[in-house]
Amino acid sequence: MQEPYQASPDVYVLPTHLAVPDVGNIPVNAFVLLAEEPVLIDTGLGIDGPEFLAALESVIPLRDLRWIWLTHDDADHTGSLERVMQLAPQARLATHGQGALRMSTWWPLPLDRVHAMALDDRLHVGDRDLVAIRPPVFDNPTTTGIYDRSTGTLFSVDAFGAILPELARDAADIPQQDLTNGMVAWATFDVPWIHLVDEGRFEQVLAAVRALGPSHVLSSHLPPASGSIDGFLEILRSLRDAEPYVAPGHQAFDDLVSQLERPPLG
């Protein structure tokens, strides 16, 4: 993991990454939202276990957490969930109901601590309401993003992720061409259905995100971004014409594994 850092006055990033040989780095972010009732958003990679807990503790004592908002049940978001729920007994788990039920088939998730979130539901966290939103693209049917109207912060889950040549703490520090190439590379892999969507319907989805007008975009797989979202939406619009991702065959996979620091996750 890298050192936690502050993305905005009330949000800390708990950053780690996956290095993919010959391709680049995939940032993997969890977040701490310092609302009156503090919220941990996602729980990192399982292989970071103790390091993740130490990073989290450096931002907020675990016993002070009131909420864990799990954006979806993919492995790169659920890594330390079980341990955090043990160490933060006051924290309730805000997440998609079916996601919680699905997770309960692989570990004894305490379902009485689940606060199920449907799209457009609001979660009151003391000083503000968080709204459950569906990001414009996603890789899992349980995906539940967050819009914090009080600060204009959009937690966009896997949307706006990028595979990057170099890690950064701010999306503005990434050269534009690297950002564009990295977002297209990530999204063609992560959102294979993008080539199947109706153009008009997708335009409506993009328009709805633009209408939200977020001032900060906090993606799970991109350094924090602030300012206009128009450039990001333009990249998503271009995806339908991008070359579809083709998974490696066995020989290419063996070659990749032989160079791997640790395995990439979706």
Applying CB under 5 A, which residues contact Fe ion? Answer: 74, 76, 139-140, 158, 220
Residue closer to Fe ion, measured from CB, 18 or 32: 18
Residue closer to Fe ion, measured from CB, 99 or 214: 99
Residue closer to Fe ion, measured from CB, 49 or 227: 49
Residue closer to Fe ion, measured from CB, 8 or 143: 143
d(CA 100, CA 94): 9
Q: Which residues contact 135 (CB under 8 A, 6 or more apart)?
A: 143, 145, 156, 157, 158, 159, 209
Residue closer to Fe ion, measured from CB, 17 or 92: 17
Q: Half-sphere exposure (CA, 13 Å, Cβ side) for 207?
A: 6
Least distance between Fe ion and beta carbon 99 (Å): 11
Least distance between Fe ion and beta carbon 150 (Å): 25
Residue nearest to Fe ion (CB): 74
Question: Which residue's entry shows tokens 């070359």?
Answer: 243
Chain centroid offset of residue 96 CA: 15
Least distance between Fe ion and beta carbon 154 (Å): 16
Least distance between Fe ion and beta carbon 254 (Å): 25
d(CA 118, CA 145): 10
Query: Which burial class, exposed, middle or buried, applies to 81 when counting CB atoms under 10 A from its CB (0-12, 13-18, 19+)?
Result: buried
d(CA 164, CA 148): 27
For 150, the token pair is 């009080």
Residue closer to Fe ion, measured from CB, 148 or 158: 158
- Are the C-beta atoms of residues 15 and 28 closer than 8 Å to each other? yes
Least distance between Fe ion and beta carbon 24 (Å): 15
Least distance between Fe ion and beta carbon 36 (Å): 28
